[in-house]
Amino acid sequence: MQDILPAQKQIFRLIEDTVRDVLAAYGYLEVGLPQIEQTRLFQRSVGENTDIVEKEMYTFDDRNGDSLTLRPEGTAGCVRFAEENGLLYNQIQRLWYSGAMFRYERPQKGRYRQFEQIGAECFGMPGPDIDAELLLLNARIWRRLGLDGEISLELNSLGSPEARNQYESKLVDYLQTYKTDLDEDSQRRLESNPLRILDSKIDRTRDILKGAPLLSEFLDDDSREHFETLCGLLEDIGVAYRINPTIVRGLDYYNRTVFEWVTDSLGAQGTVCAGGRYDGLVEQLGGRSTPGVGFAMGLDRLALMLAEQQELDSKVDVYLVSQGDAARAGALKLAEMLRDQLPGTNVLVHCGGGKFKAQLKKADISGAQLAVILGEDEMSSGSVGVKSLRISGEQVEINQSELVAWCSEYFSKEKVVG
């Protein structure tokens, strides 16, 4: 698990606000999903033979003996939510959610056992146009965050379940010849989930896979047409991509389009956003047949990328310092007045006493633009000192009633100069 320090949380908030704005521009509605679900939901949807269900879920029995699980991913819970609340049959939905997910994995840079995700799911649209729109949405987010030059798109198609089963049989036949040369995990997956071997990061296994049959050779006609149309749409609009035949995703519910947005700047943890189509999942979980497609992006990894390329601006605009009981009360009153009359201005009041010099040093460290100074003399005369901490370093004395107008003019000039 991880603690999120203030500077990191500030970056998280920047990402969340950016993604929220883009999702709203594409017509998505935010929903809230529980962090705990019935274990059976993930066994039925993610797949009992996947690494997530076999090794990575946090599962426990409650006081009634029911098996519950901290959610390891969001799609299954969103499908359950939408079906139980009557949002799917004969309807089109664009939904999104955010929050913590939990997987028991080996912690490393960019991978934690509790991690933050934003996910989006679209229901009721079977065509490649919604797949393309999702990818356009992702690309717009990277541009807004200034990361478009560091993130690239990789695509694949898994075809229909029937085509995938046929391919899986041929893949197993091929890999059986090299079984003793495969890494330990791949040997185990050969019996339980062979397609996951395609995603292996072990060099000797990847060398063996170079001669394996390709999934694209087994695609059904409808899936092939769907994928070719999607690629054509992306090319027409100017979204660069690379076809990666080893992308299979680690969840059993995917069919047809699967994709990953990847980066080279995070070492082994190169996937920052991934998703695909899951047209059979709603029916698999007890609903009527409903096409679906979605994605999830990891805030932790995006935050690492942003932290390395930019320094976030201080969020303190005005820092009030004071000396004496009456002045401390007056500082609190002036701060409330500034917050009321200058919305969006962040005001920090020094609390706890201390000499003016020490307080002004803390005002400077805070990154504030202005220090507002209030002592016994200022209280007697109804005035206040205002010191520029970033531009001129000059200090002026004004009437307390003029403080709001003075600050407003100062920040307006600062924006023009900036």
Question: What structural domains does the chain harbor?
Answer: 6-159+219-309 (3.30.930.10), 318-409 (3.40.50.800)
Q: What is the pLDDT of residue 406?
A: 92
CA angle 241/244/155 to nearest 5° reads 45
335 backbone φψ class: left, alpha, beta (φ>0; ψ -120 to 50): alpha
Most confident of 131-135, 184-188, 408-412: 131-135
* Amino acid letter, residue 135: L
Dihedral over alpha carbons 129, 135, 140, 141 (to 10 degrees): 140
% of the chain with per-residue pLDDT over 70: 93
For range 67-88, the mean pLDDT: 93
Structure tokens at 235: 């090319």
Q: What is the tens place of the pLDDT at every residue in 259-306?
A: 999 998 776 668 899 999 999 889 888 889 999 999 999 998 898 888
* Amino acid letter, residue 126: P
The model carries a pTM of 0.78
Taking the C-alpha atoms of residue 61 and residue 321, their distance in angstroms, rounded to an integer, is 54
Candidates 287, 379, 290; CA nearest to 331 is 379
> 393 or 136, which is more confident?
136
* Amino acid letter, residue 277: R
Question: Would you give the end-to-end CA distance of the chain in angstroms?
Answer: 40
Range of weakest confidence among 5-14, 106-115, 338-347: 106-115
Candidates 23, 34, 37; CA nearest to 96 is 23
DSSP state of 279: T
Q: What is the pLDDT of residue 416?
A: 40
Query: How many residues would you count in the chain?
Result: 418
pLDDT at 129 over 90: yes
| Residue pair 334/317 in contact by the 8 Å Cβ criterion | no
Q: What is the pLDDT of residue 102?
A: 92
Q: What is the pLDDT of residue 417?
A: 42
Structure tokens at 312: 């976030």
Strands (E), 250-355: 255-262, 271-277, 292-298, 318-322, 347-349
Average pLDDT of every residue of the chain: 87
Q: What is the tens place of the pLDDT at every residue in 213-272?
A: 888 888 889 999 999 999 999 999 999 999 988 887 666 788 899 999 999 877 666 889
For range 120-147, the mean pLDDT: 95
- pLDDT-based confidence at 47, cuts 50/70/90? low
Q: What is the pLDDT of residue 166?
A: 85
Q: What is the pLDDT of residue 418?
A: 43
pLDDT at 26 over 80: yes
Candidates 227, 305, 286; CA nearest to 40 is 286
